[in-house]
Amino acid sequence: MKLNLAKKLILYLFLVILLVVYIFPVYYVVNTSLKTQQDFLANPNGFTKTFAFENYRLAWKNANFSTYIWNSLFYTAVCTGINILMAIFLAFPVARRYLKFSGLIVTMFVSTLFLPDATIPRFQIFLRLGIYNTRLGYIFWMLGINGVALMFFVSFIRGIPRDFDEAAAIDGCGYMRYVAKIIIPMMKPAISSMAILNAINIWNDIIGATVILRSDKLLPITRGLLNFSGSYSVNWTQLTAAMLIVAMPLIIVYVFTQKYIIESVVASGLKG
Helix (H) or strand (E) holding 99: none
Q: How far is the CB of 211 from other proteins (least distance, A)?
A: 5
Would you give the binding string for other proteins spanning residues 50-69, x where CB under 8 A is met? --------------------
Q: How far is the CB of 190 from other proteins (least distance, A)?
A: 16
**Contact predicate 96/258, CB 8 Å:** no
Instruction: Write the DSSP symbol of residue 233.
Output: T
Instruction: Write the DSSP symbol of residue 49.
Output: S
Sign of CA dihedral 125, 129, 134, 139: negative
Q: Which is nearer to other proteins, 73 or 206 (CB)?
A: 206
Q: How far is the CB of 227 from other proteins (least distance, A)?
A: 6
- Those residues whose C-beta lies under 8 Å from the C-beta of residue 222, and which sit 6 or more positions away, are 72, 203, 204, 205, 206, 209, 246
**Contact predicate 144/82, CB 8 Å:** no
- Residue whose C-alpha is closest to residue 149's, from 79, 252, 56, 55: 79
Binding to other proteins (CB under 8 A) within 172-211 occurs at 174-176, 178-179, 200, 203-204, 206-207, 210-211
38 lies in the binding site for other proteins (CB under 8 A): no
Q: Which is nearer to other proteins, 15 or 77 (CB)?
A: 15
Please identify which residue in 68, 75, 141, 153 interacts with other proteins, judged by CB under 8 A.
141
Binding to other proteins (CB under 8 A) within 92-131 occurs at 92-93, 96, 98-99, 105, 108-109, 112-125, 127
Q: Which is nearer to other proteins, 174 or 189 (CB)?
A: 174
Please identify which residue in 151, 157, 168, 218 interacts with other proteins, judged by CB under 8 A.
168
Q: How far is the CB of 78 from other proteins (least distance, A)?
A: 14
138 lies in the binding site for other proteins (CB under 8 A): no
**Contact predicate 203/186, CB 8 Å:** no
Return phi, psi of residue 220, to 5°: -80, 165
Q: How far is the CB of 85 from other proteins (least distance, A)?
A: 8
265 lies in the binding site for other proteins (CB under 8 A): yes
DSSP class per residue in 19-50: HHHHHHHHHHHHHHHTS-HHHHHH-SSSPPS-
Distance (Å, rounded) from C-alpha 187 to C-alpha 185?
5
DSSP SS3 for 23: helix
Please identify which residue in 86, 110, 182, 184 interacts with other proteins, judged by CB under 8 A.
86
Distance (Å, rounded) from C-alpha 62 to C-alpha 97?
54
Would you give the binding string for other proteins spanning residues 211-250, x where CB under 8 A is met? x----x-----x--xxx-xxx----x--xx--x--xx--x
Please identify which residue in 59, 79, 139, 145 interacts with other proteins, judged by CB under 8 A.
145
Helices (H) and strands (E) in the chain, counts: 15, 0
Return phi, psi of residue 267, to 5°: -60, -45
Q: How far is the CB of 53 from other proteins (least distance, A)?
A: 19
Counting residues that bind other proteins (by CB under 8 A) gives 99
